[in-house]
Amino acid sequence: MYRSHNCGELRSSDITKEVTLSGWVQVSREFGGLTFVDLRDRYGITQLVFNMEDNEALCTQARSLGREFVIKIVGTVRERSNKNPNRPTGDIEIEVSALEILNPSKVPPFTIEEESDGGDELRMQYRYLDLRRGPLQRNIKFRSKLALETRKYLDSQDFIEVETPFLIKSTPEGARDFVVPSRMNEGQFYALPQSPQTFKQILMVGGIDKYFQIVKCFRDEDLRADRQPEFTQIDCEMSYITRDQILATFEGLTVHLFKELKGIELAPFPHMSYDEALERYGSDKPDLRFDMEFIYLNEQMQGHGFNVFDGAETVVGIVAKGIADSYSNKDMKGLTEWMQRPQIGAKGLVYVKYQGDGSIKSTVGKFYSDDVLSTIGTQIGAEKGDVLFVLSGEEEKTRKQLNELRLEMGRRLDLIKEGDFKPLWVIDFPLLEWDEVSERFHAMHHPFTSPKKEDVERMLTGDHATMKALRADAYDLVINGSEIGGGSIRIHDRELQQRNFDLLGFTKEEAQAQFGFLMDAFEYGAPPHGGIAFGFDRLAAVLNGQSSIRDFIAFPKNNQGRDMMIDAPSPIDEEQLKELSISLNIQE
Amino acid sequence: MYRSHNCGELRSSDITKEVTLSGWVQVSREFGGLTFVDLRDRYGITQLVFNMEDNEALCTQARSLGREFVIKIVGTVRERSNKNPNRPTGDIEIEVSALEILNPSKVPPFTIEEESDGGDELRMQYRYLDLRRGPLQRNIKFRSKLALETRKYLDSQDFIEVETPFLIKSTPEGARDFVVPSRMNEGQFYALPQSPQTFKQILMVGGIDKYFQIVKCFRDEDLRADRQPEFTQIDCEMSYITRDQILATFEGLTVHLFKELKGIELAPFPHMSYDEALERYGSDKPDLRFDMEFIYLNEQMQGHGFNVFDGAETVVGIVAKGIADSYSNKDMKGLTEWMQRPQIGAKGLVYVKYQGDGSIKSTVGKFYSDDVLSTIGTQIGAEKGDVLFVLSGEEEKTRKQLNELRLEMGRRLDLIKEGDFKPLWVIDFPLLEWDEVSERFHAMHHPFTSPKKEDVERMLTGDHATMKALRADAYDLVINGSEIGGGSIRIHDRELQQRNFDLLGFTKEEAQAQFGFLMDAFEYGAPPHGGIAFGFDRLAAVLNGQSSIRDFIAFPKNNQGRDMMIDAPSPIDEEQLKELSISLNIQE
């Protein structure tokens, strides 16, 4: 037996008990004739004490212990003279009578404490050491609880968890597939699923009625920061269901998870159309933890001789409160340059300072008198001390730029309260996006998304302009500006699905080869259905107010898609290639 | 809204309520002026009634409905005159006032009822229709409950579910890996995990202490019947743990699952060594639902001039009760031929009939007098009416053959009671198997399995003969002759792990390239640990007394590894191959 108790459970009530503990040496300290060792396991830390006077051999052995040695001790629980109120076991310590080194340890390449001194790559290489640290232990445990609570809730709502296959068929639309050569079917490949989309729809045709799965998905994309080639989603689908029933179900799930896991009560989630979100915040995932809504200023600011504004489709601004006097010219210049970086691409940044002393200072003073600017200030509710920032240009682009400025000012002005959560359903997305470069439509959500009921007839018969205006029965859940998930009511009719594939530029043959099984299934009594998927890694991070999903994944890959610890991917044997009937084709 | 209730919940207490139901048309029957439609969904079947006299148009519409049409109806619940006690909704029916066809259906290629008339391949191609059938609906739902109960139990025991990666590194030992070419790392490949073995051990080094995961695993094997290239296991690992603690934990899980899901109380599981299992039953997964233990007869039957026995390493038999008088010569000939098939390969089958009238009839009467056979009968407890079957030859082979005979006689004599469950822990497996062909050792379990503590020193220093005799700290859970799972205490010491790789024929370089990360991890304070994995598909089948795992998998592949429904694997685009820097290398 390695332990009678773990390192987190002994209390005053256990004093005088003889116990056996095992764990890692967190730290060892000497005080005169005494040696104190903090013994750590997943459950906590318990102080061990060795006394040179009582047992010299044992104490000498204890002094040889290095950090992260794995030991087993037998000893007696006793009251601690110098209690540690910050530690659940802080009232007791163990007077050790026997010590066994189960495994020594080399000196770890970084400290295994709350804050480590190790860099990202080093910690990924020695992930087994990083995982011993408190923050990762808590995150990994949280993730496990999050999955279990999700399952319990969905089970209570009659959902069935169904495992869909990982070895499926490549459908090279959307992101790239990872493919798997088949040895038994020469020259053929499986693909790893980008999502179980078609299978969950097939399950609806199969009468499963309410499906969910917490499932790995795979996308071979060029990795941006905080994207992973394999990621996890909570994947759901329901039959005989309306959009509002789906939103209510998954709002219920979200409310439950915040309550159970974080003790947070969320208010009912507002709904906002895609158009409204873009108009008011310049984003389809607005962060509603602070206001700073967009103010359209075409009327007030055009026709004053300022050519930049006069020629612009859109003149739009936001008001930043209380910084007119504290933001220097240099600050303003810095902010302008920040907006002009290629990632944002603003040409410039116009501002109007409504200063504390009542004076007005502006980059466009030449064109607008103080009176005009003052009137505008009154109209838009700017007060003394506020700054109005204004951008202009093509509507879509300008809104995007102003969204970036709004988020940046929210951060700079500390408008985001820690522990504040503002969920939002964004609804009524466009069905199709026209891509000028490829001269074809792309599905805004995916090719299986249904247009809204009132748009079905127009979709079947309408012209090009009509297609651009179609609305999808699609929705996203946004929390604090992060997209947690999204979904849609699906097409369940062969003709409409075929029409969608036509619009997306599939030939009849391509559509049949890739998705024929689904369209065939639609002809055998497919029920109306819809669903949603939540990004599980993202949800775990957002629930904890954190921004990096990597800290919630036990074994993440780096930005080159590599597992630094096992050093994968890697070359494989010639023999393996031969069996798979493929050869390498490397550009020298 | 598509429904106010589902098709399984309306009762007498709902009579007079107006309800909306949606579902599939199971069957439609006409009786004079009435049309009855059975409406089906996941939850049950509700009878709808249409009356030609009351509403001719509606009733005519109802008569146009085909099987599997998807409809929505509004109607009033009323008492049924002709009640159906076999159906929970059998006391009521719905007098329909409005009917909407949500989706028509072609005529399904097979019947969607408890027993279908469709063949295997056809049902796999139209899996969405097969999934609507009662047996598959129940199996898929059972599987979901089984997973949830497993998770709840392991969570209650402080296990953390951790997701390990799917894109890992190829280690071409054991079964073949499925590999995934990396686009971003030219010429390199990921592999799909055959199991999360090394990752779960790394999690122990990382201080997770108790890990589990219900996880897909992948093996590119030539598929035997009832094997799948992707399958699911309950994968577990624990730190600071002894074998008996692991067995107790997972016996606890198994007992819990039988109790919760099937209402069955299992008695404590016996332990039996591998050697004993082979000696008594000729199998390391004996079916203990019936006795018929092996009886070793070398002493009694050698030295009587029967050369076949006299020259054999082993002479061993079983007693089949009560068939001496009913089994004809033809039956015996058939049985002998069954044993001589290449799958079993017995040279012949000796039998001794202790007939009801006290006479003895035997294939070896020439060599053994009735007195001798009678004495043997008394010694081994054979009674009037029993038959003694005897095989002889090389010990290992003969035991295997007799195991087949024992199982066959168990089936023929109907000794296996339905609903009977006999679990067994088989322990103390050999560590290494010597392969005469490749002249090297193979790991009986896997290369990370620890020898039993008392064998560690011998393993580090012993000779070839010693290696063959090493015992592993490994164990299997067997229920009713099916292997549910297995595991072992692992090596946690670099030197011992290196020694094992040496014995298994790895060069130092190979071992380091493939498993260096694990051996490195062992040097940073790896705790003693061990674990187990249960075959989840198999467990689901065994719990239901069924033999095919395919019926518990929503989307199984056929014996060629193909998904018949989506038709995968399939060729991929030239463009995809090019991006992956591979080309096809097909033998014309």
Instruction: Give the closest-approach CA distance of B579 to chain A in angstroms.
Output: 10
Closest partner residue to B140 among A208, A492, A524, by Cβ?
A208
Q: How many CB atoms lie within 10 A of CB A584?
A: 18
Number of domains composing chain B: 3
Subunit contact B2:A240, Cβ cutoff 8 A: yes
H/E/C letters for each residue in A371-393? HHHHHHHHHHCCCCCCEEEEEEE
Residue B249 in any domain: the answer is: yes
Computed over its alpha carbons, how large is the radius of gyration of chain A?
30
Q: Domain span at residue A243?
A: 132-271+419-431+475-553
Q: In terms of domains, do A408 and A424 share one?
A: no
User: Do A248 and A163 fall within a single domain?
Assistant: yes
Question: Would you place residue A344 in the very low, low, confident or very high pLDDT band (cuts 50, 70, 90)?
Answer: very high
Residues A298, A261 share a domain? no
The mean predicted confidence, pLDDT, of chain B is 95
Reported confidence tier of residue B173, pLDDT bands at 50, 70, 90: low
Which residue in A23, A191, A207 is closest to B132 by CB distance?
A207
pLDDT for residue A172:
67
Tell me the average pLDDT across A416-433: 96
Question: Could you tell me if A569 and B190 are in contact, meaning their C-beta atoms sit under 8 angstroms apart?
Answer: yes
User: What local confidence, expressed as pLDDT, does residue B585 receive?
Assistant: 86
Are residue A255 and residue A309 in the same domain, yes or no?
no
Share of chain B above pLDDT 90, in %: 92
CATH of residue B357's domain is: 3.30.1360.30
Q: Is B216 on the interface with A (CB under 8 A)?
A: yes
Which of A537, A543, A526, A459 has its CA nearest to residue A237?
A526
CA B34, distance to chain mean position in Å, is 48
Contact B312, B393 (CB under 8 A): yes
Closest CA to A391 of A440, A348, A432, A426: A348
Within-domain flag for B179: yes
Residue pair A36/A47 in contact (Cβ under 8 Å)? The answer is: yes
Rounded to whole angstroms, the Cα distance separating B389 from B407 reads 13
Per-residue pLDDT reduced to its tens digit, A23-76: 999 999 999 899 999 999 999 999 999 999 999 999 999 999 999 999 999 999
Give the burial string for B439-462 (b: 16+ CB within 10 Å, else e): eebbbbbbbbbbbbeebbebbeee
Same domain, B427 and B397: no
How far A310 CA lies from chain B's nearest CA (Å)?
47
Question: What is the separation of C-alpha A240 from the centre of its chain, rounded to a whole number of angstroms?
Answer: 30
Q: Which of B190, B207, B585 sits opposite A131 (nearest CB)?
A: B207
Among B23, B30, B6, residue whose Cα is nearest residue B89: B6
Show residues of chain A in contact with B563, CB under 8 Å. Answer: 165, 167-169
Residue B437 has pLDDT above 90, yes or no: no
B142 plus B247 within the same structural domain: yes
Judged by average pLDDT, the poorest of A133-142, B155-164, B170-179 is B170-179
pLDDT above 90: percentage of residues in chain A:
92
For residue A374, what are its two tokens?
């003052």
Report residue B172's pLDDT band, with 50, 70 and 90 as the boundaries: low
Question: Averaged over A353-366, what is the pLDDT?
Answer: 95
Q: Residue B81 is part of a domain; what is its CATH number?
A: 2.40.50.140
On whether residue B4 sits in a domain, the answer given is no
Residue type, A297: L
Asked, for residue A445, whether it belongs to a domain, the answer is: no
A137 lies in the same domain as A267 = yes
Residue B537 to residue B553: CA distance in whole angstroms: 7
CB nearest A199 (choices: B242, B493, B555): B555
Residues B424 and B395 in one domain: no
Per-residue pLDDT at A564: 95
pLDDT of residue B588: 55
- Give A577's contacts in chain B (Cβ within 8 Å): 585
Using the Cβ of B307 and the Cβ atoms of chain A, whether some distance falls under 8 Å is answered with: no
Q: What are phi and psi of B454, to 5 degrees?
A: -70, -10
The count of C-alpha atoms lying within 13 angstroms of the C-alpha of B208, restricted to the half-sphere facing its C-beta, is 34
Whether residue A311 lies inside any domain: the answer is: yes
Record: contact B24-A181, CB cut-off 8 A: no
Closest chain B residue to the Cα of A65, Cα to Cα: B525
Shortest CA distance from A232: residue in chain B: B163
Q: How far is A416 from A409, CA to CA, in rounded Å?
A: 10
* Residues B130, B134, B137, B139, CA torsion sign: negative
Alpha-carbon distance of A201 to B35, in angstroms, equals 32
Same domain, B137 and B261: yes
B residues 226-285 lying closer than 8 A (beta carbon) to A? 229-230, 232, 240-242, 245
- Asked if B575 and B581 count as a contact pair (C-beta separation under 8 A), the reply is no
Across-strand partners of A295?
A317
Residue B35 identity: T
Q: What is the CATH number of the domain that holds A493?
A: 3.30.930.10
User: Residue B166's pLDDT band (boundaries 50, 70, 90)?
Assistant: very high
Q: What average pLDDT score do residues A339-368 get?
A: 96
- Closest of A203, A147, A163 to residue B232, by C-alpha: A163
Mean pLDDT of B13-40: 96
Find the Cα–Cα–Cα–Cα dihedral B85, B86, B89, B91, rounded to 10°.
Answer: -10
- Check residue B587 and give its pLDDT: 65
Asked which of A323-327, B168-172, B517-521 is least confident by mean pLDDT, the reply is B168-172
| Whether A401 and A427 share a structural domain | no
Lowest mean pLDDT among A311-320, A393-402, B450-459, B569-578: B569-578
State how far residue A527 is from chain B, nearest Cα, in angstroms.
Answer: 6
Average pLDDT over residues A296-306: 97
How many alpha carbons fall within 13 Å on the CB side of residue A186? Answer: 9
Spell out the residues 6+ positions from residue B368 whose beta carbon is closer than 8 angstroms to its own. B301, B304, B306, B352, B362, B376
- Tell how far CA A210 is from the center of its chain: 25
A310 phi/psi in degrees, rounded to 5 = -60, -35
Q: Which amino acid is at B284?
A: D
0.90 cut: is pTM over it?
yes
| pLDDT of A588 over the 60 cut | no
- B-chain CB neighbours of A222 within 8 Å are 184
Chain A positions in Cβ-Cβ contact with residue B557 (cut-off 8 Å): 165, 167
B44 touches chain A (CB under 8 A): no
Q: Is the peptide bond before A108 cis (omega within 30 degrees of 0)?
A: no
Residue B241: exposure state from Cβ atoms within 10 A (0-12, 13-18, ≥19): buried
Using the predicted structure, report yes or no on whether residue A587 has a pLDDT greater than 70.
Answer: no
Bridge partners for B434 per DSSP? B441
Q: What is the ipTM of this complex?
A: 0.95
Region B160-169: what's the mean pLDDT? 98
Regarding whether A379 and A307 lie in a shared domain, the answer is: yes
Could you tell me if A44 and A92 lie in one domain? yes
B161/A contact by beta carbon, under 8 A: yes
Continuous H helices in A42-93: 56-63
